[in-house]
Structure 1
Amino acid sequence: MAFSPEALPAIPVALSSASVYPLAVHDAFALAQDLGYDGVEVMVTNNSVSQDPDQLNVLSERYEMPILAIHAPTLLLTQQVWGKAWTKIELSAAMAAEVGAKTVVTHPPFRWQTGYAEEFPQGIRRVAAEYGVEIAVENMYPWKVRGREAKAYLPHWNPVPEPYDRITWDFSHAAIAGMDSYEEIRGLGDRLAHVHLTDGTPNGKDEHLLPGQGQQRCAEALEHLAADAWNGVVAVEVSTRRARGAGEREEWLAETLRFAREHLVS
């Protein structure tokens, strides 16, 4: 599916399919069109549509919504999707190329993925070059067990000091880690490829709140990106699982889109 880049704003705002959970991928495209988003980020899960580039291209055509990013199935809950760790990266990159997405979002390796973790920086660079996409490693956060930090990622949950060319920044994850997203985004410069717009508080829970509901400096960070003429995508990844009333999910996603557009004006 090919969409003209000229049709998109300088910083497009995409709707992540994770934001409509437990609804289906189809619903993400329909809501993105109804609410006026610029495109969609597809998170690969055990849902068959999320794994099929042909079906995704059909949805993209039907709803006139470009697929701007693919989120590889590297979450703990998607460990059974697409088998081995490198297979997940390869298939995600191949699918991104097939649907016209510029970016593949992936998490840092888990500590038990020792061989994969040791080769990870060189491996994602190789796969990115092979498929003509960028692979952006997402910032995560420390896991706590009985109040003590458990080493869940190798070498670390924070990708910033690691030799990764491209990074995805998630505000909710930053909140758990006690990081200031505004300062981190400023420091990343050209390494920042992709943003997950959400919010959170430092209470140890991955809340994925609407921006403005937590303690991260979301507005300032977006305003910096606009002033800096950044060329990535802002993908809305907020939790709407608690939506109950008719239209409440739509209201939350529309509110987040308004927030993004308001603060992305250069």
Structure 2
Amino acid sequence: MAPLVALSTVSVFPESTAQAFAWAAQVGYDAVEVMVGMDSLSQQTAAVRQLRDHHEMPICAIHSPCLLFTQRVWGTDPWGKLERSAELAHAVDADVVVVHPPFRWQREYAATFVEGIARLEKSTGLAFAVENMYPWRASSRSMEMYAPHWDPSRESYANTTIDLSHASIAGSNVISMAERMGDRLRHIHLTDGNGSAKDEHLVPGRGSMGAAAFLQHLAQRDFTGHVVLEINTRRAADRAQREADLRESLEFARLHLGQTQPQRV
């Protein structure tokens, strides 16, 4: 099977989760990844299921609320957040939960994170795809803010995610990272970056990460996971520009994956 090309709901921010489903259906994406965040609708199982059914748009993944600005979404217990993410994934027939490595100050959570993720995968039957992050940079200094490490290829996770914008900040070669992960690479956040300390999330092809070559590498190794467009359209002047960015991103993904038609049944 060829990978689904999906749209992350965060790609249309500041528009809502509901608008993200509408955009995904209108532009022609295969599926949606739901970012559980400050939009209260994204936290409600019935509402998310209704959006899926109304737009006839499958949900391939749930992104757990583990970002700095979602630390209080679904409470403050990090394991509780992952359990609720799994419940939502089951309710909407998603097979992946995306999760970031713990922040270093979450010491108790970080100490058992690798083993705990394995236990969750066994108990839920879902893939908890741990995402690559990056050292935080300020002027000429960098700070290690994630534990056990920001690079999931260094750990024994069964399922992983590569985000090209995060790799850009870290100065990581995404093809080399994918080769280290091998069959453990389950999920892609397709975007781009120019090496800035800021998390740019550019439309793929507009940065220096070699997004085209990376997709071609995935196609050559018969990658069958999800390719999710997670771009920043906050600065779009209007809805027409946002739509153009979403279409360009989808066409870029399909072109370099060698897809001639949508994969959604």
TM class by shorter chain equals over 0.9
Describe the superposition over 1:44-90 as per-residue Cα deviations: whole angstroms up to 9, x where unpaired: 01222111121111100100100000000000010011111111111
Distance in 2 separating the partners of 1:145 and 1:223: 34
1:190 aligns with 2:183: yes
Distance in 2 separating the partners of 1:144 and 1:186: 26
Conservation of the 8 A alpha-carbon contact between 1:207 and 1:239 = yes
1:55 aligns with 2:77: no
Describe the superposition over 1:199-231 as per-residue Cα deviations: whole angstroms up to 9, x where unpaired: 001121110001111111111111121122211
Distance in 1 separating the partners of 2:220 and 2:258: 8
Distance in 2 separating the partners of 1:263 and 1:154: 34
Distance in 2 separating the partners of 1:42 and 1:105: 10
Distance in 2 separating the partners of 1:228 and 1:160: 18
Moved more, 43-52 or 59-68: 43-52
The one-letter code of the counterpart of 1:134 is A
The one-letter code of the counterpart of 2:127 is E
Which aligned runs of 4 or more in structure 1 are off by greater than 6 angstroms?
none
What is the aligned counterpart of 1:69 among 28, 40, 61? 61
The one-letter code of the counterpart of 1:85 is P
1:116 aligns with 2:109: yes
Matching of residues 229-248 of structure 1 within 5 Å: 229-248=222-241
Aligned length: 258
1:169 aligns with 2:162: yes
Distance in 1 separating the partners of 2:168 and 2:153: 15
CA-CA distance at 1:255 after TM superposition: 0.3
Matching of residues 71-220 of structure 1 within 5 Å: 71-83=63-75, 84-220=77-213
Moved more, 101-110 or 175-184: 175-184
Q: TM-score scaled to structure 1, two decimals?
A: 0.94
Instruction: For residue 188 of structure 2, give the secondary structure of its aligned residue in structure 1.
Output: strand
**Structure 1 unaligned blocks of 5 or more:** 1-8
Describe the superposition over 1:242-266 as per-residue Cα deviations: whole angstroms up to 9, x where unpaired: 0003410000000000000001117
**Structure 2 unaligned blocks of 5 or more:** 260-265
The one-letter code of the counterpart of 1:52 is Q
Conservation of the 8 A alpha-carbon contact between 1:143 and 1:152 = yes
The one-letter code of the counterpart of 2:113 is F
Cα pair distance change 1:184/1:30, threshold 3 Å: same
Q: TM-score scaled to structure 2, two decimals?
A: 0.94
Cα pair distance change 1:246/1:123, threshold 3 Å: closer
Conservation of the 8 A alpha-carbon contact between 1:15 and 1:32 = yes
Conservation of the 8 A alpha-carbon contact between 2:38 and 2:70 = yes
